[in-house]
Amino acid sequence: MRPRRCSGSLPLFSHAMAIAVLCLATLPQAAPGQAEAPKVVTEEFMVPSGHPGIDLYVRNKHATGASKFGGERILLFVHGATYPAEATFDLRLGGLSMMEFVARHGYDVYLVDVRGYGRSTRPPEMDQPADQNPPIVRTETAVKDVGAAVDFILMRRHATGINLMGWSWGTSIMAWYTAQNNARVHKLVLYAPLWVHYAGSLAGSGKLGAYRNVTPDAARDRWLKDVPPDKKAETIPAGWFEAFAAANLASDPAGSKQSPPVMRAPNGVVQDARERWAEDKPLYDPEQIRVPTLLVHADWDQELPISMLQAFFAKLTNAPYRRYVEVGEGTHFLILEKNRRQLFDAVQAFLDETFKPGD
C-alpha cells in the first residue's frame, strides 16, 4: 500500500487491526489575552466489522500528546441516514468542527461510518445498478457496526465504557446499541431523535433498490424546506453548504463521477422506516436504556418533529436522569448552521457535568 500523507503528518501505516494516519491540526487562533487553542491530532483506522470483506472507517481526534483517557471522556459519533460522519460531525466550518470542539475540551473523540457510507466498505450491491438488489444496511446491521467500533475503542484505550452520540437515524442506532449494552455506555446523546409514527421525506413510496442517489440540489431543498422564507438566506452561512456538498461528494468517488454528481446512500434505513417506524413498530425498547440521556432538537425540524422527541422522552423511564434541549431557529441540519454552537455547548455541558440523582 502506498503511504498517504497529510500536511505535517506521519505516513500511513498498517497493523493487524487497522490502518492509521496521523495529522496535526491547529485550531483557530485564540483572541489576544486568551490561552492559545490546543493542537489536535487526527488518527484514521479501518476497523474489521466482523463480517468478511467489510471494514469500517473510524476517525479519532484528541489533544496532541494525550493518550490516556477514562471512558467518561471518550465520545463516539455516528451519522444519519444519508451523509457520512466526517461530512457533518467533522466538517470544519468557520475554522471549527464539532469533533474538534469536543476534543479541545479534553476528550478523545471518534466517529464511525457504518458499511455503505463514506470511507467504510461499500457492499458489493453498490457496484451494481440499485434496482438489481433489495435495500441494504438495515438498522440492525448498523448497530452491529457500531458495536465493532466500540469494541475497537475500548480495547485501544483499555476502557470499560464510553459516551455515544447519534444524529437522526444515528439516534436509533446508538439508542438500540445502548439498550443492549448499558454497561459499555456512560452517557447517551441523541440529536434529532427518530421514533415511531415517522412520516418524513425518506419514507416515500414505490419500490426500493439497494441504495439511492442524492444530488446536492436535492440535499439543499430537503435542508431548507421547513425554514421560513425570510430566514432561508441566513440559516446557512455563506459557503457552508458548498463545503458540505463537496465533502460528501469527496467521500463517494463512484457517485461523484456520475453526471450529475451524486452521493449514494444505502436504502436499508428507508425500508425500516416503512416497515417499522411508520407502522408504530419499535426496533427496541427505550425503557431498556439505563444511562443518563440527553435529547437535542431544533424547532424547524419537521423531518423529526418535537412530538416524536417527546414521545420517546416519556419512555426513558429507567435512565438515571434525562433531559432535552430545544434550539430555536434551526433545522434537522443544525450541526451545520448559524446556531450550531448551541448544540455544541449543550452537548459539552452534558458530557462535562458530574451530576448524580439526589445531589
pLDDT at 6: 37
Place 29 in a pLDDT band, splitting at 50, 70 and 90: very low
Asked if 245 and 219 count as a contact pair (C-beta separation under 8 A), the reply is yes
pTM for this prediction: 0.91
Does 212 map to a domain? yes
Place 357 in a pLDDT band, splitting at 50, 70 and 90: confident
> Which region, left, alpha or beta, applies to residue 210 given φ > 0 means left and ψ of -120 to 50 means alpha?
alpha
Return the C-alpha cell found at 228: 421560513
Q: What range defines the domain where residue 117 resides?
A: 29-187+194-291
Domain tally, the chain: 1
Place 13 in a pLDDT band, splitting at 50, 70 and 90: very low
pLDDT of 5 higher than 70: no
Does 63 map to a domain? yes
Residue 122 neighbours by CB under 8 Å, 6+ apart: 115, 116, 254, 264
Does 352 map to a domain? no
Asked if 160 and 182 count as a contact pair (C-beta separation under 8 A), the reply is no
Lowest-pLDDT range of 4-13, 71-80, 270-279: 4-13
pLDDT of 30 higher than 70: no
Q: Is the peptide bond before 260 cis (omega within 30 degrees of 0)?
A: yes
pLDDT tens-place string over residues 250-293: 999 999 999 999 999 999 999 999 999 999 999 999 999 999 99
Residue 277 is part of a domain; what is its CATH number? 3.40.50.1820
Locate the DSSP E strands across 107-184: 108-113, 162-167
- The terminus-to-terminus CA distance of the chain in angstroms comes to 55
Does 157 map to a domain? yes
Does 16 map to a domain? no
State the SS3 of 217-273.
Answer: HHHHHHHHCCCCHHHHHHHCCCCHHHHHHHHHHHCCHHHHCCCCCCEEEECHHHHHH
Does 140 map to a domain? yes
Does 353 map to a domain? no
Q: How many CA atoms lie within 13 A of 229 on its CB side?
A: 0
Q: Which residues of 100-119 are buried (b: 16+ CB within 10 A; e: fewer)?
A: bbbbbeebbbbbbbbbbbbb
Does 300 map to a domain? no
